[in-house]
Structure 1
């Protein structure tokens, strides 16, 4: 049974943090998985349209899911209003190009190189997995890079990557998709999303996990990456 008071407390705290632009202390009670999804629904209703979703494994039970708001989607190279420190994760996404149907995945989706923007609305270094999930799994937006045209449905497990930012090399060499299979992560998402936050719709993207861990960059940084087969992507972080 869900606890309306926990959903309300988390939703209010997260809305307050977003309005003020500064993290807040999370409520004392940790949400359940179902409550975290309900909190996401409440927050997303205040943020507008959904541009896509992120997916990842949790220590136990069903996967982490979180919506990505449309108003925080940027083209590669655009200036991105950012907090003092922003996380940037390089990922492979899949864009749904037609309504879901009983078809092979390569006829429903096209791969795209993206960067996920990361921020937290809760203060503290010891947040639990479901507290993070309630906070959209720390998502703060998405940068859209090049599409891989002519995709034949092959999986992505290990890719050759070079990523730099704020004057340092973040990654230069082989990088593994979390779990070893981007298609496996996509299918995990499809198996669990249902109608959460409107369900998956054409034009939305599913991001499948970071190739580079979670590096953080100060506002004013330019983060660039190149992935063999996909091309180049850039995030220009500017102070809000």
Structure 2
């Protein structure tokens, strides 16, 4: 992708964030044709949004190539986020890790063991899902990647230092929306080994956006799938032994 085309898309996405009017297809609109194109646009947008507070990383299966996006808005639970600040509202229950020391860019990849040694806490999280894209762009993989994989922010619960005691594959989870349980089970993250994701992210973020930094949070994909919600919704995620996290979206 030409640099001017990447800049054009980045500027349109930034305007969509400001106006809360989604970017729609247009005859003269360039399109990302690869993950490399999408990440180039992602970097341009992120550079205008300030400090990276967190990251999202996920994969569709234990063997699939992960995808990543920076997160600029992190809120402590219980969070109150006015619905007017979003175009479309969704939630995902996730397990997040806090980075305890810098993992900067370097020539060789970070190993799973090195990344695990850099983690200092685990916490329950709700990823807020939003989009700056109108249909059909909001369903196209490379466009979604330009739009931070539809991230609208992250809400985190209290951290636990004994993070190795939490098994993501068997972690009980319950999602409650407006007082009703809508999802319940154990594990549920299709990526499997979450340390594989974090190690991949450390290498990718190191090349592209300055590495992983002490205090940043890494959220690792949904345990409950994506649930779209309406303005006014109250969301609670209960993860036995790990904690709980909640967010409200008042009208």
Could you say which residue in structure 1 is the equivalent of 2:154?
Answer: 142
Partner of 1:42: 44
- Cα offsets for 1:25-73 (capped at 9, x unmatched): 143523422221121111112211101111123799853111000xx21
More divergent stretch after superposition (178-187 vs 215-224): 178-187
1:114 to 2:125 alignment:
yes
Q: How many residues are paired up? A: 236
Greater shift, 220-229 or 157-166, is seen at: 157-166
Q: Choose which of 125, 131, 139 in structure 1 pairs with 2:143.
A: 131
CA contact (8 A) 1:80 1:236 kept: yes
Q: Indicate how the Cα distance of structure 1 residues 37 and 9 shifts in structure 2: closer, same or farther if over 3 A, else same.
A: same
What TM-score comes out, normalization by structure 1 length?
Answer: 0.88
Gaps of 5+ in 1: none
Give unpaired runs (5+ residues) of structure 2.
104-109
> CA-atom RMSD, angstroms?
2.4
Instruction: Please tell me whether the aligned partners of residues 60 and 190 of structure 2 are also in contact (alpha carbons under 8 angstroms).
Output: no
Output aligned runs, 1:72-111, within 5 Å.
72-82=73-83, 83=86, 85-100=88-103, 104-109=114-119, 110-111=121-122
* 1:136/1:156 CA distance change after superposition, 3 Å: same
Higher strand share: 1
Provide TM-score, normalisation by structure 2.
Answer: 0.84
Secondary structure in 1 matching 2:157: strand
Matched, 1:230 2:242: yes
Q: What is the aligned partner in structure 2 of residue 176 from structure 1?
A: 188
1:159 Cα deviation after fit: 1.6
1:63 aligns with 2:72: no
Alpha-carbon distance, 1:196 to partner: 2.1
How far apart are residue 218 of structure 1 and its match?
1.2
- For residue 156 of structure 1, what is the aligned residue in structure 2? 168
SS at match of 1:178: coil
Secondary structure, counterpart of 1:172 in structure 2: strand
Q: Distance in 2 between matches of 1:153 and 1:106?
A: 13
